[in-house]
Amino acid sequence: MEKIRKTDAEWKALLTPEQYQVTRKGGTECAFTGALWNDHRDGVFHCVCCGLPLFDSRTKFESGTGWPSFFDPARNEAVISREDLSHGMRRVEVLCARCDAHLGHVFPDGPKPTGLRYCINSAALDFRERA
């Protein structure tokens, strides 16, 4: 997959201040405040920065955390992960594989079949209903 690279100024021009803070600076929206945490429509969640399909609503579940949670990405190649040692914690950060946007984190406490919980910021996602 070919990477999409832009300057900081280009990202700022394309994104809202919240989207920029979350996706380009590794921020996190407050729990239960994002537009998509309680969204139950049928469709696909795309990267707000580059449009790559990231998660399908069929893998979304209620985690009780206040962020959209998924047990599997739309395609394994859609997301990448890396160790995150910020804030005095050891976590696994989830990024868009095409543009390196910070999406959220993945935890090993999700439902079957994967046992994973991709805890993703609404500000990092663009939801598109299935036709």
Catalytic sites, residue numbers: 119
Q: 18 with 11: CB under 8 angstroms?
A: no
Give me 11's structure tokens.
């990202």
b/e map 87-126, b = 16+ CB within 10 Å: eeeebebbbbbbbbbbbbbbbeebeeeeebbbbbbbbbbb
